[in-house]
Amino acid sequence: MKFGSTLRKSVYAPWKDQYIDYDKLKNLLREHDDDKPWTSDDVTQFTEELANVQLEKVYNFKRDIQEKLKERTTACEKKLEPLALGIKAEDGEDGAEAASSSKDTKSDVPPAEKKKLLQEVLKELDGITKEVKELEKYGRINYTAVIKATKKHDKLRGRSYRLRPFINARLTEKPIYTEDQSPLLYRLSAMYSFVRQSLDGKPQEALSFAENASGKDEFTSYKFWVHKDNLLEVKTVILRRLPVLVYNPQTSKVAEGSQRDPTITSIYFDNQDFPLYTDKVNHVPNAASLRLRWYGQLAEKPTIHLEKKEMKDGDVAEEQRFPIKEKYVQPFIAGKYHMEKQIQKMEARGAQDPQDVNEFKKSVNDISHFIKEKDLQPVLRANYTRTAFQIPGDNRVRVSLDTNLALIREDSLDLDRPCRDPDDWHRRDIDDRQMEYPFKEIRKGERYDFPHAILEIKVRGLKKYEWIEDLINSHLVKEAPRFSKFVQGVAKLFEDQVNTFPFWLSEVEMDIKREPEAAFEEEQKKKQKAAEDDFAVGSLFGARASPSYRPSVISPVGSPAAGTSARKASAPKPSPLVVEQTTKPSAEEIDSDDDGDATIPGRTTGLSSLFPSFSTSKYARSKESAAKAIALPPGVRHPGVWIKDQGPVRVEAKVWLANQRTFIKWQHVSVLLASLSLGLYNAAGESNNIARILAVVYTCVALFTLLWGYGIYMWRRRLIMQRSGTDFDSVTGPLVVAVGLAIALCLNFGFKYRAILTEREHNHARHNGTAAAAALVEMVAERIELVR
């Protein structure tokens, strides 16, 4: 079907004047008029119309509609807010605010008025949901129109100037198709749940989405593109936490570490109309895909698996697969063979569980019927090298890194020039000659080399891993949600046969390498936007209705009852209520060897209690201003106890060792002082009272140091056990010891100096007395001589 017809059929009547004028663009290209030469003025006119008129029109209209939908959603939330506050008051919310809200809401909304309000909101929500769906279709079809018009220009008039790179850059600046509707849908889902449960009279405890969250046995998948310059750094980040999973298909023994990463080949099925591709791009419910998959070269006789994957609600995939030998693939596709020999072997052995045999039969029948119903044939080959990271026997975290991705046409749609023999299921020129990447022997139009590596992280259960969060939010990777090798290959190699394209197509050829600062700022904006959406739901339904809503209050580690509380810097959704947030390690992460960076806020001691402007803690300087910034919005109540404070206390060993190390240092100082005092006392004579007094003073300081060290050790131990948010630092003990020693030394110096002065005076007086006696003797001698 021509794209012009597809575009006309996709028009949403209320917005019919806001779609791209595809016919006007075709007329500007003069598709069927080659008599008049194509000039630079024609290029400028077409480029101006496409990039600055049509694209700008679509972008501005979509942005305006998104803002209106957000405003309508906010208006619905405000209508429901009195009802939600009344319910929370019935739940027994503490405090004066709860009492006042209960009095102001519950009594003012009679049942009849409440039902009418809920029905009006439900009708409005239906209208918003419909327009959200139409807006997603609007963005997709106009995005496809831009790509189609650009490709038509490059095909007809692109000899001197190719427009595609410029349009890709413009689509990055003016994104008209990003599939970023999940935050708004999340808010709508929360209101739908509230309204329907209120109309049905169900208990409001069901508003919590915890039951619908991924269970412990389900995987959460993240997909990213990795620039080739960042490959080594990404690998080293992963290798610090997970080892490389060595794959050896030939034996169950441990493979050698020198073994190469396996090459994986997947052959995808579709027909000439590409319905499987279209359903996958448009996210049609129960969209299915079919592929053959094997490791290594086909000449090595690997195990081939035929796999059918069907997407269910909530992006949950249901997969059917079974192994098949190479010689049976073509008969199975043609409907001439239904795995009868394999089924007979399974039944003859008797060792197989009958349920497994029945499931095998069901998979064979379903896939065979699926191929026949859709008239499927191999159309695309994906060949890539995979490096897997996983702890053996532990599948909680699984990481795969696919490099050297080559997408190759495998179809026989053009009977005059088929890529594959119509009577065979794969290309013999590739498999018989054992071609490898980069497949230079394949014609250029039949091969596409994907420019980036593909990183996929699968996390089992609800546990968060800090290193994964850091990698996801870093400049090393670019998020690529819903990326599919099959969709990418068809979109690039079969552009003329398909009328819709994936939203990421214009970004593939762009440079995804980013500076760390730019990546950080982009991530902060994303978190801020997500926090605003969460806050909108949280302010209406409280913390119960939002699985990820956590009002961020400034406090380090303690419970709300213990003081102010701060989220870690890596928290996934920081609250927009606090502009500046001081984040420091929690009590479990304290290391006393840190140079003043591991202090915990919440306690004012020593000089800071006497002089409020003086502080020995970095946290205390901002504690007062941070506390003033905390203001819970209407409808949001104090959580009472943080989630981290629930369950058994788990403290890292370094926290205990830090406290014990401090205690041992205090005892060391006490022993040194006691040894000094004992030595001083023993060295002093019976008549040296000053030395004895100083020895007693040193003994008192040593005793104080001993008791202080033990007391501080027990006090900090109690704070750790209680997960307290109080400051761990205390300057009183060190000040007392320092001042005591300084006074003792000063007194010692003073007494010693006074003793020296006294001794000098005594010596001087004795010297004067001896001289007088000598003079007297001499005078007496002289007189005796005269008498003689």
Please identify every stretch of the chain with a pLDDT value under 70, giving residue numbers as ranges.
1, 32-35, 84-109, 179-182, 201-217, 246-260, 313-315, 350-352, 530-648, 650, 685, 687, 725-727, 765-777, 780, 783-788
**What pLDDT score does 181 carry?**
64
- For residue 627 the two structure tokens come to 């506390």
- For residue 551 the two structure tokens come to 């009002």
**What pLDDT score does 489 carry?**
93
**What pLDDT score does 554 carry?**
30
Which phi and psi angles does 352 have, rounded to 5°? -75, 145
Given the candidates 3.20.100.30, 1.10.3720.10, 3.30.930.10, 3.40.190.10, the CATH classification of the domain at 219-514 is 3.20.100.30
**What pLDDT score does 740 carry?**
79
Q: Evaluate if pTM is beyond 0.95.
A: no
Beta-bridge partners for 289: 309
- For residue 516 the two structure tokens come to 């760390």
**What pLDDT score does 642 carry?**
62
**What pLDDT score does 643 carry?**
60
**What pLDDT score does 251 carry?**
44
Q: Where are the domains of the chain?
A: 3-207, 219-514, 529-645, 653-780
Residue 24's alpha-carbon distances to 21, 49, 155, 354, in angstroms, are 5, 9, 18, 64
**What pLDDT score does 609 carry?**
42
Cβ–Cβ < 8 Å for 454, 233: no
Residue 670, Cβ density class (10 Å: 0-12 exposed, 13-18 middle, ≥19 buried): buried
Residue 589 DSSP class: G
Helices 340-349 and 354-374 sit at what angle, rounded to 10 degrees? 170
Distance (Å, whole) CA 142 – CA 617: 57
CA 529 to chain centre: 14
3-state DSSP assignment of residue 537: helix
**What pLDDT score does 324 carry?**
92
Which residue type, as a one-letter code, is found at position 120? Answer: E
* List of E strands, 515-638: none
pLDDT, tens digit (0-9, with 9 covering 90-100), for 41-68: 888 888 888 888 888 999 999 889 888 9
pLDDT, tens digit (0-9, with 9 covering 90-100), for 613-648: 444 454 445 554 554 455 665 555 666 666 656 666
529: Cβ contacts below 8 Å, ≥ 6 apart: 183
Distance (Å, whole) CA 487 – CA 501: 8
Element (H, E) at 498: none
Cβ–Cβ < 8 Å for 270, 259: no
Which phi and psi angles does 401 have, rounded to 5°? -125, 110
